[in-house]
């Protein structure tokens, strides 16, 4: 057997393959240059065009662009009316921003556990956490797999809660034939470079509610009433700040890039699915490596490919497998440290280990493998070779 690079052997790759990466082509560059030569730099006609294209992709009436996925979540919390005294149920297996948006509005995040097969927020756990202070539920389509929205819809309707989909991972995914962005009262997206399409930074909220859309357009622009703003443009100085707002504006420069990227989303999703299929097929041979379960009801968007290690079959822990794969040149990562385990939430909210046992156990075993459309077939092969090499070397 080949010696591990970690122990002085030859690595599978000499240069590290990242877990995710953007793909910028000449068309993207030209689109940005065009905006730089135009009259508008910040929120203008290019943002409006991007919002329209995005709403159409999501088959929903409204898409409101903001400066980041985190800003999108905060804006959605504002639209949902979450505030002091309210509780917002979120999965613990997510990025911290999903929980922070509740805190930004003075509400409290309440952490739900996840389903052991998919690591998606568990509807039974959500139901057990509902109190008379619960205002909203934020589901996260972890790895790009939509949650069970028919079930969440019925839970939220029954308890009069607002359903928010943090769809940062799942642009272009389908649940029972319906696209993400149309599955909840409010859905949020991120255009960070590691996500499906990028604007450098950026975010989006989609909704079918006219009142939410109006409120969010004000919120992203200091909560200035846009009707008055319009009037100001037409020659009067008067405008009104109607509530506390923020500067969460998306720019025409960013949306030119993001619009250009959006045209390639279908091809990129296809490539992501191909890569995921290759991994899934290859790992059938490895009994210490288990990909997450995929429901037949969804078309997965494959932001992440997460494997779970069977530690009973290995002589080392996840940390050592992580280091061994990095040494082989494979840029693995871990998504995520359960949010409730971070020191900030422990101190502020009193959370502790034991609160979400399924997520905590999964966290000790998961690794995210490189997955992005620009990966070559050779890159994919290297990942498979390295995972096989490392798990064989550490096989009990």
Ligand X SMILES: *Cc1c(COP(=O)(O)O)cnc(C)c1O
Nearest to 216 by CA among 67, 107, 87: 67
124/13 Cα distance (integer angstroms): 44
Residue 140 as a binder of ligand X (CB under 6 A): the answer is: yes
Residue 74 as a binder of ligand X (CB under 6 A): the answer is: no
Of the listed pieces 49-57, 66-74, 147-155, 368-376, which binds ligand X according to CB under 6 A? 66-74
Distances (CA, A) of 315 to 81, 277, 285, 310, 319: 50, 28, 19, 10, 12
By beta-carbon proximity to ligand X, the closer residue of 140 and 324 is 140
Residue 123 as a binder of ligand X (CB under 6 A): the answer is: no
Catalytic residue among 195, 217, 218, 389: 195
195 in catalytic set: yes
375/381 Cα distance (integer angstroms): 10
Residue 46 as a binder of ligand X (CB under 6 A): the answer is: no
Per the DSSP assignment, residues forming a β-bridge with 166 are: 140, 188
In the DSSP assignment, the letter for residue 138 is E
Residue 134 as a binder of ligand X (CB under 6 A): the answer is: no
Residues 180-199 that bind ligand X (CB under 6 A): 190, 192
317/232 Cα distance (integer angstroms): 62
By beta-carbon proximity to ligand X, the closer residue of 62 and 196 is 196
Q: Name the minimum Å distance from CB 167 to ligand X.
A: 8
Residue 94 as a binder of ligand X (CB under 6 A): the answer is: yes
Residue 254 as a binder of ligand X (CB under 6 A): the answer is: no
Q: Which of 43, 68, 143, 255 binds ligand X (CB under 6 A)?
A: 68
Q: Name the minimum Å distance from CB 385 to ligand X.
A: 28
Distances (CA, A) of 375 to 131, 182, 268, 303: 46, 30, 11, 13
Q: Name the minimum Å distance from CB 95 to ligand X.
A: 4
* Phi and psi based region of residue 230 (left: phi greater than 0; alpha: psi -120 to 50; beta: remaining): alpha
**Residues 163 and 209: beta-carbon distance below 8 Å:** no
Residue 165 as a binder of ligand X (CB under 6 A): the answer is: no
Binding site for ligand X (CB under 6 A): 68-70, 94-95, 97-98, 140, 166, 168-169, 190, 192, 203
Catalytic residues: 195
């Amino acid at each position: 057997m080949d010696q591990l690079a970690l122990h002085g052997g030859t690595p599978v790759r000499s240069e590290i393959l990242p877990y995710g990466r953007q793909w910028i082509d000449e068309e993207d560059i030209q689109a940005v240059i065009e905006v730089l030569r135009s009259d508008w730099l910040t929120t203008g006609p290019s943002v409006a065009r991007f919002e329209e294209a995005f709403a159409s992709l999501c088959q929903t009436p409204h898409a409101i662009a903001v400066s980041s996925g985190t800003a999108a979540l905060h804006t959605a919390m504002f639209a949902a009316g979450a505030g002091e005294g309210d509780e917002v149920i979120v999965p613990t297996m997510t990025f911290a921003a999903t929980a922070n948006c509740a805190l930004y509005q003075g509400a409290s995040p309440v952490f739900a556990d996840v389903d052991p097969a998919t690591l998606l927020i568990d509807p039974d756990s959500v139901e057990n956490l509902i109190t008379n202070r619960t205002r909203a539920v934020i589901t996260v389509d972890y790895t790009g797999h939509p949650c069970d929205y028919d079930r969440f819809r019925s839970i939220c309707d029954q308890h009069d809660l607002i359903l928010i989909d943090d769809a940062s991972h799942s642009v272009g995914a389908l649940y029972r034939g319906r696209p993400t962005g149309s599955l909840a009262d409010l859905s949020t997206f991120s255009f960070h470079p590691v996500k499906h399409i990028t604007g450098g930074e950026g975010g989006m909220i989609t909704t079918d509610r006219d009142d939410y859309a109006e409120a969010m357009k004000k919120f992203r622009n200091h909560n200035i009433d846009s009707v008055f703003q319009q009037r100001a443009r037409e020659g009067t100085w008067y405008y009104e700040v109607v509530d506390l707002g923020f500067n969460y504006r998306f720019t025409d420069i960013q949306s030119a890039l993001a619009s250009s990227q959006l045209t390639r989303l279908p091809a990129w999703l296809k490539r992501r699915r191909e890569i995921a299929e290759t991994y899934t097929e290859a790992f059938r041979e490895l009994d210490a490596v288990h990909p997450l379960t995929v429901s037949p009801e969804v078309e997965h968007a494959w932001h992440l490919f997460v494997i779970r290690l069977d530690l009973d079959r290995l002589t080392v822990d996840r940390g050592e497998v992580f280091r061994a794969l990095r040494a082989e040149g494979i840029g693995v990562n871990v998504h995520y440290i359960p949010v409730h385990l971070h020191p900030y939430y422990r101190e502020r909210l009193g959370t502790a280990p034991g609160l979400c046992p399924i997520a905590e156990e999964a966290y000790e075993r998961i690794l995210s493998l490189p997955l992005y459309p620009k990966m070559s077939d050779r890159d994919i092969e290297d990942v498979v070779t390295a995972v096989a090499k490392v798990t064989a070397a550490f096989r009990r």
